[in-house]
Amino acid sequence: MSALFIGMIAGAIGTGYFIYGKRQQRYVPMLAGLMLGIYPFFTNNALLLILIGAALMAAPFMIDY
């Protein structure tokens, strides 16, 4: 049940990142948003979901193209 909730939160944040990246024509936030929407389908462990999600959410701030 927690994995489903975390996946929904990650997907919502990923949608925001994707829309922001598309409007600003920046590929790193757009790719991070796409990955935030896709990765919960392949992971069931709640801790792993949180760690991967945190890394993907931090990527646009760490990688500046």
Tens of each residue's pLDDT in the chain, 65 residues: 788 999 999 999 999 999 999 999 999 999 999 999 999 999 889 999 999 999 999 999 998 76
Token look-up 């990246």 returns 21
DSSP symbol at 9: H
Residue ranges with strand state E in 1-65 = none
pTM of the model: 0.87
Number of domains the chain is built from: 1
pLDDT recorded at residue 1: 79
pLDDT recorded at residue 64: 78
Domain that holds residue 50: 2-62
Say which amino acid occupies 16.
G
d(CA 20, CA 6): 21
pLDDT recorded at residue 49: 93
> In this structure, are residues 17 and 60 in contact, taking their beta carbons and an 8 Å threshold?
yes
